[in-house]
């Protein structure tokens, strides 16, 4: 079996130029089609490889997986076999899809059973998320927010350059791309000198983020180092962490966001493996002051992922309102996972950890409406002549992301969500 996927490799499955899913990607997801129950699939071009059929036909015989790992509503059982097993599975799929290998492609009947059109399939939530943690790891975003709400000369709180700040979010309200979000309700305090009021959120916002999904970690009481972190990360997806800014402003002191965040977070359906992203790693920013030893790391642990956000009004056309990049993160995944577990916190298979809003140095790189409209003082003008300070009912927000190096593109697809009025 091959040990790596060559950038010159091509698949016998047709892949359009510019597709997010060439043979160098092979992301995992959960899908169903026809009357068949949910199962594990891998994206290639505009097709899905049905891993349950692949297993049943004997193509995965020498691997450590069972039928129930693929006849499953979630990736968790498959992922529970760990990094090396999942890596071997992906490389076996690559071997079977490689145009230089006739093992599968020469059997037309098997090909017809194994390949499904993405357009004929329904994607499902890929992971049963046990716990969800949201970090706050973009320096530009944290500086923008601190400038708006505090002192511009002291925009970052004293701890920000020393620890990857995070909070525990709500896993039950993580939803899949395509599922609408209903405008949340809660307490707000629009006037400082008057009591709080209750009603629908008026300052609804998106947050452009990426999330990573974990394998099983170490036992309670043990830590994962930055050097070990890659072995405990399965892959990544796009993540839209919806935010009710007016609810958040009133409730977040002293314990942080609650109702402002727990009503919904949206993810893309395909989990792109860390192995597929490895060639897009780049150096991170110089971290000053110097971090404590447990947060030090070696090698390139940041990733160059191009990101964009589109906003489509009801019945209108899409407006690209932000272009950012995951490379702008100050704290990387290895540091986030090391910090999360340094106190002995145990992580489990399927835990999800989000990056926090990803903003770059320029206004067009900002990853939230709060920043793009600068707290509503600079409304965005859309193609239809309307303006947005924050999101309106009927708006659809789409996030896309991909890595590009020469002719190799490894993408995440998209996460798309329409906003419905409050109940």
pLDDT in tens, 185-206: 999 999 999 999 999 999 999 9
Clarify whether residues 116 and 239 are in a common domain.
no
Could you say which of 124, 156, 171 is where a domain stops?
124
- CA 272 to CA 366: how far, in whole Å? 24
- CA 362 to CA 379: how far, in whole Å? 16
User: 228, exposed or middle or buried, with CB in 10 Å at 0-12, 13-18, 19+?
Assistant: middle
Helix (H, G, I), strand (E, B) or coil at 236: strand
Joined tokens for residue 32:
């169903």
Say which DSSP state 328 is in. G
Clarify whether residues 276 and 410 are in a common domain.
yes
pLDDT in tens, 89-114: 999 999 999 999 999 999 999 999 99
Nearest to 281 by CA among 257, 300, 254: 300
Calculate mean pLDDT across residues 288-293.
98
Whether residue 12 is contained in a domain is answered as no
Calculate mean pLDDT across residues 60-66.
97
Backbone angles phi, psi at 308, to 5 degrees: -145, 155
Which structural domain, as residue segments, surrounds residue 222? Answer: 132-420
| pLDDT the model gives residue 1 | 53
Clarify whether residues 227 and 331 are in a common domain.
yes
Helix (H, G, I), strand (E, B) or coil at 156: coil
Could you say which of 61, 94, 124 is where a domain stops?
124
Of the residues 81, 110, 141, 302, only one is catalytic, namely 141
Whether residue 217 is contained in a domain is answered as yes
User: Which H/E stretch holds residue 57?
Assistant: none
| pLDDT the model gives residue 3 | 60
What pLDDT band is residue 65 in, cutting at 50, 70 and 90?
Answer: very high
Could you say which of 83, 98, 124 is where a domain stops?
124
| pLDDT the model gives residue 4 | 81
Q: Are strands 197-200 and 204-205 parallel, antiparallel or unpaired?
A: unpaired
pLDDT in tens, 147-159: 998 889 899 999 9
Residue 2 has pLDDT above 70, yes or no: no
- CA 368 to CA 242: how far, in whole Å? 10
CATH code of residue 39: 2.30.30.230
- CA 24 to CA 90: how far, in whole Å? 10
Contact 180, 197 (CB under 8 A): no
Number of independent structural domains in the chain = 2
User: Which H/E stretch holds residue 242?
Assistant: none
Q: Catalytic: 141?
A: yes
Scored b (16 or more CB within 10 A) or e, 354-379 reads bbbbbbbeeeebbbbbbbbbbbeeee
């Amino acid at each position: 079996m091959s040990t790596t996927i060559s950038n010159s490799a091509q698949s016998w499955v047709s892949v359009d130029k510019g597709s997010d899913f060439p043979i160098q990607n092979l992301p995992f997801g959960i899908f169903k089609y026809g009357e068949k129950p949910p199962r594990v699939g891998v994206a290639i071009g505009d097709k899905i490889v049905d891993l349950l059929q692949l297993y049943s036909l004997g193509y995965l015989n020498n691997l450590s997986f069972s039928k129930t790992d693929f006849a499953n509503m979630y990736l968790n059982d498959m992922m529970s076999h760990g990094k090396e097993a999942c890596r071997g599975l992906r490389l076996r799929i690559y071997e079977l899809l490689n145009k230089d290998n006739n093992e599968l492609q020469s059997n037309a009947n098997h090909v017809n059973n194994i390949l499904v059109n993405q357009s004929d399939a329904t994607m499902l939530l890929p992971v049963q998320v046990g716990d969800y943690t949201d970090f706050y790891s973009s320096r530009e975003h944290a500086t923008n927010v601190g400038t708006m709400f505090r002192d511009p000369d002291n925009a970052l709180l004293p701890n920000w350059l020393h620890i990857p700040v995070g909070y525990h979010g709500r896993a039950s309200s993580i939803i899949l791309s395509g599922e609408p979000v209903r405008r949340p309700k809660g307490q707000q305090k629009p006037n400082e000198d008057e009591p709080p009021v209750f009603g629908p959120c008026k300052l609804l916002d998106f947050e452009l983020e990426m999330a990573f999904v974990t394998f099983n970690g170490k036992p309670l009481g043990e830590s994962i180092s930055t050097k070990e972190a890659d072995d405990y990360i399965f892959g990544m997806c796009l993540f839209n962490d919806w935010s009710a800014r007016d609810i958040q402003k009133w409730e977040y002191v002293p314990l942080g966001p609650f109702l402002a965040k727990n009503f919904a977070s949206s993810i893309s359906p395909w989990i792109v493996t860390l192995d597929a992203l490895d060639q897009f790693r780049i150096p991170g920013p110089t971290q000053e002051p110097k971090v404590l030893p447990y947060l030090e790391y070696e090698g390139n642990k940041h990733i160059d992922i191009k990101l964009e956000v589109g906003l489509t009004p009801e019945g209108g056309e899409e407006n690209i309102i932000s272009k950012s990049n995951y490379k702008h993160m100050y704290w990387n995944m290895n540091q986030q996972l090391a910090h999360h577990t340094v106190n002995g916190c145990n992580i489990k298979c399927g835990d999800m950890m989000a990056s926090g809003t990803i903003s770059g140095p320029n206004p067009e790189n900002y990853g939230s409406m709060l920043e793009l409209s600068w707290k509503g003082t600079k409304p965005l003008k859309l193609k239809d002549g309307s303006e947005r300070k924050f999101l309106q009912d009927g708006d659809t927000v789409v996030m896309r992301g991909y890595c590009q190096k020469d002719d190799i593109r490894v993408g995440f697809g998209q996460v798309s969500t329409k906003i419905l009025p409050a109940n």
